[in-house]
Amino acid sequence: MRLLSLYIHVPFCTRRCSYCSFYHVPAAEERQRAFVDVLVDEIGAGLAAIGEPVTLGTVFVGGGTPTVLEPSHWRRLVRAIEPHAVPGGALEFTVEMNPEDVTEELVAFLRALGVNRASLGIQSMHAVGQKVLKRCAPGVNAGAIGIVRRAFDNVSFDVLLGVPRTTIADLGDTVRALLAFEPAHLSVYGLEAGGDLSHEVERFFRAVDPDRVADEYLWVCEALRARGYGHYEVSNFARPGFESAHNRVYWDGGDYLGVGPAAHSSIGGRRFWNEPSLDAYLARRADGHVAARHLDVEGDHRVERAMLWLRTDRGLPRSECACTDAVLGAFVAEELVVESHGRVFATDRGYLLLNDLVLRLTTTPARLHGGYPASQPSIPTC
């Protein structure tokens, strides 16, 4: 029995937030129905194509805004998943929730379907900050948190750093307000441009100060550590026992199937993805084709593996470092990394320079051509 994780991308949103570069489309009901038709087909075909029985260890439904889906669509998705779930209810089943959609009825419904982990897109508890982000008012956030916390023990909040027209003190207020709800997990992301950028989104990112993002990141790391949260991945913090099993699969190089427009997969060393187009996705069913576009894995897999190790609390094996002892010693002296029990771990400051660290630690001096790469902040982003 092969263990696999499943990611489902729901591309629908009721509006575009000012910072969002993820693929999404307006949440029209007719297109939702057609989307779920193809999605169910893709789940079945994707799992069957593996060629052996599959057990799903984790399921993560993201987007977009999954909570815009109608109950009938959720039931169909769960029916497609159930035959492959881990026996005994051990499946980690996460759904991203938009605070504006959260009601007692919705949460009870999802809980009854087997969802046992909620990820709430809070972003900020500051009124001006939420307006800049085109998100809901802080009071709506607080109401949604209360509902979700009564239903789930395993709740994660998303928080954004560097929100224009706010200060580091405002971020402190946001973090303290969220900690009062005793979340199991927090994901903290720096605002950085990338992906599908409209003109409006590009204009928004011109107002983001990367230096303030870095300062806020270091403050959050210290504040959450003081409250007992483990910094187990560059952007993720959790109480003991509440690390995201699904995201660990990505960072550990495990197998996962991604379904829906723009979703990526990695199975048995082979990677493939769906193009970010709902129209193209829906057209598949008309011609009976549900296979994704393919991407041959190329490049230096050793460097990629090192990047995945170094971004987590598991660290990079010293044996994977191709640099000289002097280079590693310099990074230790600069408090960018620490070395312990044969592994190298990035510090909070080191995470801000993660790309440079990976390059320097995994590349021989000859391949660097004698040049020390310029240190540019590599802020953890969504």
| Same domain, yes or no: 157 and 242 | yes
What the block records as the tokens of 256 is 């996962």
What the block records as the tokens of 112 is 């009854």
**pLDDT at site 376:** 43
**pLDDT at site 21:** 74
Residue 269 maps to a domain: no
Domain stops at, among 207, 235, 250: 250
Residue 291 maps to a domain: no
| Same domain, yes or no: 156 and 13 | yes
| Same domain, yes or no: 344 and 229 | no
**pLDDT at site 168:** 96
| CATH number of the domain enclosing 22 | 3.20.20.70
Using the structure block, give the residue that is written with the tokens 């799992």.
Answer: 47
**pLDDT at site 269:** 81
| Same domain, yes or no: 205 and 335 | no
Q: How far apart are CA 208 and CA 163, in angstroms?
A: 7
**pLDDT at site 155:** 98
**pLDDT at site 348:** 98
| Same domain, yes or no: 55 and 144 | yes
| Same domain, yes or no: 106 and 231 | yes
Measured between its terminal Cα atoms, the distance across the chain in Å is 33
The dihedral region occupied by 308, where left means phi > 0, alpha psi between -120 and 50, and beta the remainder, is alpha
Q: Which residues, 6 or more positions from 135, have their beta carbon under 8 angstroms from its beta carbon?
A: 17, 121, 123, 124
Residue 240 maps to a domain: yes
Q: CA torsion, points 234, 236, 239, 243, in degrees to nearest 10?
A: -100
| 225 three-class SS | helix
| Same domain, yes or no: 103 and 220 | yes
**pLDDT at site 26:** 87
Q: How far apart are CA 8 and CA 67, in angstroms?
A: 13
Residue 190 maps to a domain: yes
Secondary structure, 3-state, 71-131 = HHHHHHHHHHHHHHECHHHCCEEEEEECHHHCCHHHHHHHHHHCCCEEEEEEECCCHHHHH
Residue 292 maps to a domain: no
Residue 314 sits at φ, ψ, to 5 deg, of -85, -20
**pLDDT at site 195:** 53
| Same domain, yes or no: 67 and 188 | yes
Cα radius of gyration (the chain) = 21
| Same domain, yes or no: 222 and 102 | yes
- Number of structural domains the chain divides into: 2
| Same domain, yes or no: 72 and 162 | yes
120 and 142 Cβ atoms separated by less than 8 Å: no
| Same domain, yes or no: 213 and 344 | no
Mean pLDDT by 10 residues, the chain (382 residues): 94 86 83 94 91 94 95 96 83 96 98 97 97 96 98 97 96 98 97 59 82 97 98 98 97 94 88 88 68 55 87 95 93 97 97 94 64 43 41
**pLDDT at site 303:** 83
Residue 368 maps to a domain: no
Q: How far apart are CA 44 and CA 46, in angstroms?
A: 6
Residue 106 maps to a domain: yes
Beta-strand pair 185-190/155-161: parallel
- Angle of helix 104-113 versus helix 138-151 axis, rounded to 10: 40
| Same domain, yes or no: 203 and 325 | no
Tell me the residue ranges of DSSP E strands in the chain: 2-10, 12-13, 25-26, 54-63, 92-97, 117-123, 155-161, 185-190, 230-233, 236-238, 256-259, 264-267, 270-273, 293-295, 316-317, 337-340, 343-346
Residue 271 maps to a domain: no
Structural domain boundaries enclosing 322 = 302-362
**pLDDT at site 283:** 87
**pLDDT at site 193:** 59
What the block records as the tokens of 67 is 């909570």
- Angle of helix 278-286 versus helix 29-48 axis, rounded to 10: 70
